[in-house]
């Protein structure tokens, strides 16, 4: 029944009616507004391996990466994000929230560590920390962290242990169980990694809908050996014949147009080659190989074609990885999870200058990029992939430690295509995800206070281009060392004296200010040493729990080197 005012009933003034309606319905409007706030997000962290800072399109590259570019266009890009310069330290830091040296996953001057190091019991990984909030965690791809995957809190895993042949599954593990032998017809590691991730997502959608998930998607690509599908290589076959100088200049110009960098372009260091010298590899690879970034016009025709072909394979691997990421995105959309999934993308270190021959060796008569070949990018095109920065993987100059970081979350990040200049580090991922998941940081473990975690939450930077406050960022790897305080960076390669750079205008590390500013050098050196001493004291407490030298099989030790 509808009631309406009669002639005997005065009509309420519209202004008064509006006020009453506002009072009556304001709580409901507020509740509806609260309901629009995103729930705890799903999280997908995508990690590439040996990807250069400028390799993907949205960071200046010419490689076709439409899916990653789309995430960047509808999310945010961090311009000063860092890794640890090497694969296994980065993975340990990323998943634990601690510097690798704090948890025995990289060495200190007085404490051995690295790929064979064993974390302390308290150094739990992100899946274990998320479990109390109801998250289910999945892993697809490279592991390279100590211990079985499932014991670290993941409920499913594809462990790509075979990192020497992209066309074979031999040696891999599923849920920590070795895969059965297969003829591997049609197998390619990058596709298999995405297939596993998609299968996990489908299972989650059908059996655990409504439960948040964390998926760690760690591609091997574009790590050596340079293996790619023939159709992907053909797309880039002749694209790099102009050489690494031309590629660097083109990428730098694009980066400047995108306002990604505000620094001069670094100079090629013709005297800096691979971090490890394997003369026998150069013999096996033949006269086309070059282990220095020499002027392109000084190379022979054979050398130019050989180098351009290697870069074409590297590009094909990145292109294919982006394509497979697109399939994962399509699955997230199909299951209705895309809007409330926070997707990160980063690289474990800079592009690699390494040149070596491992595993099954190298057949110079085989088609480049096929299973019978073993090629590495080398210092020439590695320098171009790390544009505009200096040096490569293993060094802690900017070229070794700078990574793209894309963050895309439609329900939680309203910014579209914006840049974030705050410095950040992979140790920041754990506190960021825990904050969004509503998980309070753990302060103790079994009655003992935990060491303070160095990471900072990046959540404030999701909303605006603000600086996440921190005292410093610190690096040490194989004698290469660095510290960053504000825009000042102190850095030295193994055996070299400290050099000082103002990264606000010189991220390419071209103008060494150490002689002009000795007091600043001493100030930053004290910061670096204090961190080193604290980490050493912590690591020594559990030194007796570390494996003795030579305790692991040599094959495992070789696998852990990269």
Residue of 426, 302, 427, 453 whose CA lies nearest to 364: 302
Peptide bond into 225 cis (omega under 30): yes
Distance, in Å, from the CA atom of 546 to the CA atom of 538, rounded to the nearest integer, reads: 13
pLDDT in tens, 256-313: 999 999 999 999 999 999 999 999 999 999 999 999 999 999 999 999 999 999 999 9
**Reported confidence tier of residue 548, pLDDT bands at 50, 70, 90:** confident
What pLDDT is stored for residue 37 in this prediction? 52
Scanning the structure block, which residue is given the tokens 């991220």? 507
194: Cβ contacts below 8 Å, ≥ 6 apart:
140, 217, 324, 325, 327, 328
| CATH, range 42-463 | 3.40.720.10
Strands 488-492 and 402-408: unpaired
* For residue 8, pLDDT beyond 50: no
Residue of 473, 290, 275, 265 whose CA lies nearest to 392: 275
* For residue 224, pLDDT beyond 90: yes
What amino acid positions are annotated as catalytic residues? 87, 144
Q: What's the residue count for the chain?
A: 562
What pLDDT is stored for residue 360 in this prediction? 82
Q: What's this model's pTM, rounded to 2 decimal places?
A: 0.92
What are the domain boundaries of the chain? 42-463
Scanning the structure block, which residue is given the tokens 């296994």? 88
Residue 527 CB neighbours (<10 A) = 17
pLDDT in tens, 346-403: 999 999 999 999 988 999 999 999 999 999 999 999 999 999 999 999 999 999 999 9
Average pLDDT rounded to a whole number, residues 194-211? 97
* For residue 229, pLDDT beyond 50: yes
Scanning the structure block, which residue is given the tokens 């590899």? 281
Residue of 196, 202, 186 whose CA lies nearest to 217: 196
* For residue 538, pLDDT beyond 90: yes
pLDDT in tens, 56-82: 999 999 999 999 999 999 999 999 999
CB 339 within 8 A of CB 333: no
* For residue 25, pLDDT beyond 70: no
pLDDT in tens, 98-129: 999 999 999 999 998 889 999 999 999 999 99
Residue of 79, 50, 66 whose CA lies nearest to 227: 50
What pLDDT is stored for residue 182 in this prediction? 86
């Amino acid at each position: 029944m509808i009631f309406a005012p009669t002639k005997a009933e005065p009509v309420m003034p519209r202004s008064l009616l509006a006020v009453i309606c506002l009072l009556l319905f304001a709580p409901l409007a507020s509740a509806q507004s609260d309901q629009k706030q995103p729930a705890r997000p799903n999280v997908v962290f995508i990690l590439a391996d040996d990807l250069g800072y400028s390799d993907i399109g949205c960071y200046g590259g010419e490689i076709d990466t439409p899916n990653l570019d789309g995430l960047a266009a509808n999310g945010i890009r961090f311009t000063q994000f860092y890794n640890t310069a090497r694969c296994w330290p980065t993975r340990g830091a990323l998943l634990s929230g601690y510097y690798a040296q704090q948890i025995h996953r990289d060495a200190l001057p007085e404490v051995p560590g690295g790929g064979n190091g064993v974390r302390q019991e308290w150094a739990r990984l992100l899946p274990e920390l998320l479990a109390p909030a109801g998250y289910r965690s999945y892993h697809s791809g490279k592991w390279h962290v100590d211990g079985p995957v499932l014991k670290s809190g993941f409920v499913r895993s594809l462990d790509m242990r075979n990192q020497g042949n992209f066309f074979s599954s031999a040696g891999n593990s599923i849920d920590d169980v070795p895969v059965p032998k297969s003829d591997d017809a049609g197998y390619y590691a990058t596709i298999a990694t995405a297939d596993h991730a998609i299968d996990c997502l489908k299972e989650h959608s059908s059996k655990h809908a409504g439960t948040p998930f964390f998926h760690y998607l760690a591609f091997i690509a574009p790590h050596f050996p340079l293996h790619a599908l023939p159709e992907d290589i053909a797309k880039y076959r002749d694209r790099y014949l102009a050489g690494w100088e031309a590629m660097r200049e083109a990428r730098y110009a694009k980066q400047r147009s995108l306002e990604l960098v505000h620094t001069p372009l670094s100079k090629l260091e013709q005297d800096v080659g691979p971090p490890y010298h394997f003369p026998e590899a150069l013999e096996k690879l033949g006269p086309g190989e070059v282990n220095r970034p020499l002027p392109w016009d000084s190379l022979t025709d054979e050398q130019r074609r050989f180098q351009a072909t290697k870069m074409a394979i590297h590009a094909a691997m990145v292109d294919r990885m982006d394509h497979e990421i697109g399939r994962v995105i399509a699955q997230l959309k199909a299951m209705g999870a895309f809007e409330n999934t926070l997707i990160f993308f980063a690289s474990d270190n800079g592009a690699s200058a390494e040149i070596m021959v491992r595993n099954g060796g190298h057949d110079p008569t085989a088609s480049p990029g096929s299973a019978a070949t073993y090629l590495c990018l080398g210092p020439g095109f590695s320098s171009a992939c790390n544009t505009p920065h200096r040096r490569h993987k293993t060094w802690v100059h900017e070229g070794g430690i700078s990574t793209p970081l894309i963050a895309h979350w439609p329900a939680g990040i309203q910014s579209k295509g914006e840049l974030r200049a705050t410095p950040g580090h992979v140790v920041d991922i754990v506190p960021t995800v825990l904050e969004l998941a509503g998980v309070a940081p753990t302060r103790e473990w079994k009655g003992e206070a935990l060491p303070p975690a160095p990471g900072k939450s990046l959540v404030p930077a999701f909303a605006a281009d603000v600086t996440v406050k921190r005292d410093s960022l610190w690096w040490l790897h194989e004698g290469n060392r660095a510290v960053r305080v504000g825009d000042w960076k102190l850095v030295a390669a193994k055996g070299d004296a400290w050099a000082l750079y103002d990264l606000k205008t010189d991220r390419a590390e071209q103008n060494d200010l150490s002689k002009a500013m000795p007091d600043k050098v001493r100030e930053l050196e004290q910061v670096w040493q204090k961190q080193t001493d604290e980490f050493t004291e912590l690591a020594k407490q559990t030194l007796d729990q570390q494996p003795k030298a030579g305790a692991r099989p040599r094959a495992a030790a070789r696998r852990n080197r990269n």
